[in-house]
Structure 1
């Protein structure tokens, strides 16, 4: 007896058995014939198709292997989703099998008839993600034909072709033959300011995918400590691209990067987001060979200013994640500059910066009583050895000093004023500049490159040099107002500036620049009074270099510990509420209770898929994935947005397990898994704050391009673990009253080689 029963040839009648509604689906053939059909959910898709094709009612020609089932949205019906579609009474279509469809589309692309090419590409962009379709499409030279279409067309046709290529590149195979000419074509499309948005979006996504192709080029903190060089990718794999391959073509279009940065100001939020994601990918994967050049180009284009402008917008929920990622990338850039040594003899840019600083001072070199040249000591350095003076601040210190000089039009007058004072009363401005760099780095916790737990926007951090200039002027003023002397009071004035930085840059995500300027204009006595109140909460030992280095090490360990804990929570799984996006249209019947308001999600052991099941009630979920038939590919998640959705209607008041909120407003415990081209993949509400933090931050830490956390809870855990670990380590020293030096000075070298190292014999 057949497991498929045709009830009627119309699509408007539903059968009933014993008064209960029996799940019935409508199936439409290629000829337009529609029947109402009861399908046994226990059947496989192949068996369902076979019975439909061979049934006397539909009378289809050809073998069942030539056919497949799709729903109204053209999603392919598979064994994984068949049961859900049957229970949901989804309308089905009996269509050509993916392999058959792929052969026909590949053939149509060869001829590129103007009237049919758009319809062909429209179908291609939908089907290309399916493995059966893509395999057959690639086997029939479909990729080469698609590349040819991209090279030859414009407008909407080009947009469809690029979107098809973007979707193909979500697969881990099939596009390794893309050459430099194709990359250049995409770069040229993006370089044109006249390219329409629907063309620029997929083109930007394609370049981002190419940049990220090399899995070993990312700034991965966990891998940074490994001394083992990663293996080179095979020449015939998709991993052969990366930053270098894209950057080589970017250099051929001089206006490319400028146009991408300008699109951050696009009125289309999605376009701004795509551009931000591309910039983040370039920052994350930049290679050492092109790092200085690329970062220099971004700085000249004022990309930080463009991002700060995005922060000031009111409706930027979709951009929050990529802005935080950008902040994390700039943190890495900042710390890398700090660790890059200043060497004017080997680097022309360093020599040029030093020359600009000296010329702005309008001072003249002198010779002291010992016959030595006095030049940099006039600016406030302790020696004439420039690499030594910038040993702790590196290129970052040099750039900040040059910026300070250029922002102060009266810098030469400031230097003359200092030189007019007695030597012991002069403020060592160059040394003060470096000290302010250290104070700002400590304030923004920029001591662990590659790790960031910032949960809020930091517009003043992105304007580091401007804040540095303001704080350095404050240092000079505090020096004068406190009557400081060089050999005695430098540390005291530094403590005053540290206190003021902490007070002025508080809550920077909600403060205006003029408020910061006003704070830095306060009088010495007010700063001193506040500092006295803070002294009891601060220990000077924590500011010493060895302790800062220890904190950086512990910070990395704490971050990795919390990261692993969050991922373990994902592996265990949890129940969530299926939420409703706040911008979604209202339901037709708001009084009707949703059929499956609950969802259980669990991450697989390979960390590649989120498996889930929707249910009307909670039930004990077994270990493993047998109870979880649906899944979401982690790699297609581009953002974890928070505070985006509300509980479904008439569920909140009927279940005490659901988190409290006031519909229809968004729940603070809600989050959405967003895809760059598919919209929201899941909208969930966590049962409590702890579960919300576990999953939002766990998923962010799992993403390859994720560089931030969403919750203050996770950021607090990392900070608390770091501080506890630091205090435990310091107990060993403080108990013995060991004095920590600010640095270690090497003694003089041996006078001869007539010595040996003695063996240490334990007692």
Structure 2
């Protein structure tokens, strides 16, 4: 093996380009083996590989760069890395068009930027990471721009290499640069369009080719958000003071232009200028820095972005709120910070990168990749503004006051969880913004109640199911009484239309039916027309003893769209195709144990001995009457209702009962489970007290 490696090293120094090309071609496929690399280095191959990297061209250069990159990946060959090599590689990335050369060059820089400092580098001043590239980037200032442009390359491997290098530069900058330098570098990348390019990749179809660098970029985005949040707001820092001052000056923009507001420092420091200058903007106190404790500088950035990009709206909002009393004003600044926290929690920004990598291992298949990517997090600012607009809209729509603030925050949280959390990977951010803007308040409240039920279901489980059963039983008894009262009230039913052969006209007759007050008999009678007043029971010539009824059948549909009606209105139609048929026996069937025996006389025949027959047929004139009478008769016979209208009414009553009970119970009451609360002391009390039972207090 050593002989073959020695021969390979010798060919690398050949005067013939074809020989060097074949040697370095073989080298690139073997240099990734650490044992091979050790022998290659001991045979003096490093010097010749470095020479080819600096001077070769075409495929020989491409193979040399790939070999060099693979050697660095096994943590060997660092003696070759000096400023001349770095400058050569940066030059190739900026100026060379060939894809195979660019891939190797970028891979080399990824290793250099990502390599930890060991003290053995030949770079000037022991520089490593992004600092190792800065002298070369100063010579080729278009380096970052070209790098971002490569993210749009049709070659997926080159695109992945470019993103991998950007990730390495970002991570090194965040980790090793000063607090003044890394934000500038991140801002420069954003200005060059890196967010737009990565967002397009995340929504594209080539996820498998880009999955690793895309996941890393998504994780780095969370690292950045977390780092910004962890920076406390200190007005002693010039950039923090400028940001807060910019928000305040934006609120006084018109007055400042008139020259009557003083200098910016005077505006910020003057307490005489306005005793509520910060609370007017929506802060809780006149010390705004304290309110950024939970959001840090991230909250300041989000608020400043909104004020800067929506100055006219900000001015209009302040003007509108100034006309309202204090507890009716929408706290703009406070709302902005709340939306920042909602987004922070929604995207689980505090989730570690280790958890992200574990998630990737569990989601290797292509079908599960959509669950792993969160492209919308790249448009954090747009989501924040959309959430803030939703807050303002809900505040206005509900007529909220300051004491309702947390309720509005919870609604916005549910809105973001529903719209942003439910968005597909390929859904554009503009569609998300529009959906958040058009989300109906009633639908949002419905989601809130569903989540409330699920929350209590998780906490109380069995008790909640028992409550549902009790409420459904109560609702069933209520609806039963309501349906039976409809029968007690009576109703008119059209009968078969008769034809007069002499005149050729049709005549409509009617039947009136009503349940007796003791609920034992169903009275009915036929009439030529509907009378103004309801007939008395004594005027109804026929009746059915309900103990004779064996069954009630009908063709009423169980769905909400009943096809048997010619109209959906409750106005009496000319024709009704719905039919309720009451079946029964000629003689009433006595209850069990009450059958009397008499010598020489026959007993009342049993059900099995009697023939079932039709006792009465009714044609309900509308869906409402059909539901009331069919289910009323069934429930009167202690049977379950079957129509859709009654079912919906049962669900409505039981669900509202559950929601009312849940809204009257504090969630922290569960803390008392298994532990009795302390008994209040009676020290200082006498016997002069009473209970206001009806007052509720």
Distance in 2 separating the partners of 1:100 and 1:737: 84
Residues 736, 271 of structure 1: alpha-carbon distance in 2 compared, 3 angstrom cutoff: farther
1:301 aligns with 2:204: no
Return the structure number with greater strand share: 1
Structure 1 counterpart SS, 2:447: helix
Partner of 2:345: 442
Cα gap change, 1:151 to 1:433, in 2 (>3 Å): same
Distance 2:676 2:162 in 1: 54
CA distance in 1, matches of 2:420, 2:35: 56
Once the two structures are TM-superposed, the CA of residue 146 in structure 1 deviates from its matched residue by: 2.4
Cα 1:352–1:163 shift into 2, 3 Å: same
- The unaligned stretches of length 5 or more in structure 1 are 1-67, 69-95, 215-231, 543-728, 740-763
Residue matched to 2:413: 498
Whether 2:36 is the aligned partner of 1:101: answer no
The 1:416/1:150 distance shift into structure 2, 3 A limit, reads same
Equivalent residue for 2:287?
A: 385
Match of 1:262 in 2: 149
In 2 relative to 1, CA 356–154 (structure 1 residues): closer, same or farther, beyond 3 Å? farther
Tell me if the contact between 2:222 and 2:350 (Cα under 8 Å) persists in the aligned partners: no
Pick from 169, 177, 181 the counterpart of residue 289 of structure 1: 177
Cα deviations by residue, 1:516-549 (Å, 9 ceiling, x for unpaired): 233322233332233123223348xx9xxxxxxx
The answer to whether the aligner puts 1:148 opposite 2:51 as a matched pair is yes
User: Is 1:197 matched with 2:99?
Assistant: yes
SS at match of 2:79: coil
Alignment partner, residue 520 of structure 2: none
Q: Which residue is equivalent to 2:241?
A: 351
CA distance in 2, matches of 1:142, 1:732: 72
> What does 1:443-462 correspond to in 2, within 5 Å?
443-450=346-353, 451-452=355-356, 453=359, 455-462=371-378
Distance in structure 2 (CA, Å) of the matches to 1:340 and 1:162: 41
CA distance in 2, matches of 1:369, 1:169: 61
Cα shift readout 1:300-320 (whole Å, capped 9, x = no counterpart) = 223222111012222332112
Cα deviations across residues 197-229 of structure 1 (Å, max 9, x unaligned)? 111101111111122221xxxxxxxxxxxxxxx
Q: 1:212 to 1:288 in 2, by over 3 A?
A: closer
Give the C-alpha shift of residue 292 in structure 1.
2.6
Deviation at 1:130, TM superposition (A): 4.6
Q: TM-score, length-normalised on structure 1?
A: 0.52
1:478: Cα distance to partner? 0.9
Query: Could you say if the C-alpha distance between residues 428 and 202 of structure 1 is closer, same or farther in structure 2, counting changes exceeding 3 Å?
Result: same
The corresponding residue for 1:161 is 64
Question: Partner residue of 1:530?
Answer: 447
Cα distance change, pair 449–731 in 1 and its aligned pair in 2 (3 A): farther
Cross-structure match for 1:481: 397
Which residue in the other structure is 1:574 paired with?
none
Structure 2 contact 145–192 (Cα < 8 Å) conserved: yes
8 Å contact 2:283–2:334 — kept in the other structure?
A: yes
2:230 to 333, 339, 350: 339
CA separation of 1:485/1:320 partners in 2, compared to 1, >3 Å: closer, same or farther?
Answer: same
1: CA distance between counterparts of 2:293 and 2:171?
A: 26
Question: Which residue is equivalent to 1:206?
Answer: 108
Residue 148 of structure 1 aligns to a residue whose secondary structure is helix
Shift of 1:438: 0.6
The superposition leaves residues 312-360 of structure 1 with CA deviations (integer Å, 9 ceiling, x where unpaired) of: 2223321123212221221111111111112343243x33433433343
**Bigger RCO (CA 8 Å, 6+ sep):** 1
Between structure 1 and structure 2, the one with the greater Rg is 2
Superposition CA RMSD, Å: 3.4
Specify the SS of the correspondent of 2:73: coil
Map 1:131-280 to 2 at 5 A: 133-192=36-95, 194-214=96-116, 233-235=118-120, 242-249=128-135, 251-252=137-138, 253-280=140-167
Shift of 1:142: 2.9
Distance 2:269 2:68 in 1: 68
Partner of 1:261, secondary structure, is helix
Bigger helix share: 2
Aligned position for 1:706: none
Q: 1:418 to 1:538 in 2, by over 3 A?
A: farther
State the distance in 1 between where 2:30 and 2:443 align. 68
- SS at the partner of 2:400? coil
TM-score normalised by length of structure 2: 0.56
Matched, 1:361 2:256: no
Aligned to 1:722: none
Asked if the contact 2:72/2:78 (under 8 Å) is kept, the reply is: yes
8 Å contact from structure 1 (residues 379, 428) kept in 2: yes
Contact residue 478 and residue 524 of structure 1 kept, 8 A: yes
* Alpha-carbon contact 1:98-1:133 (below 8 Å) kept: no
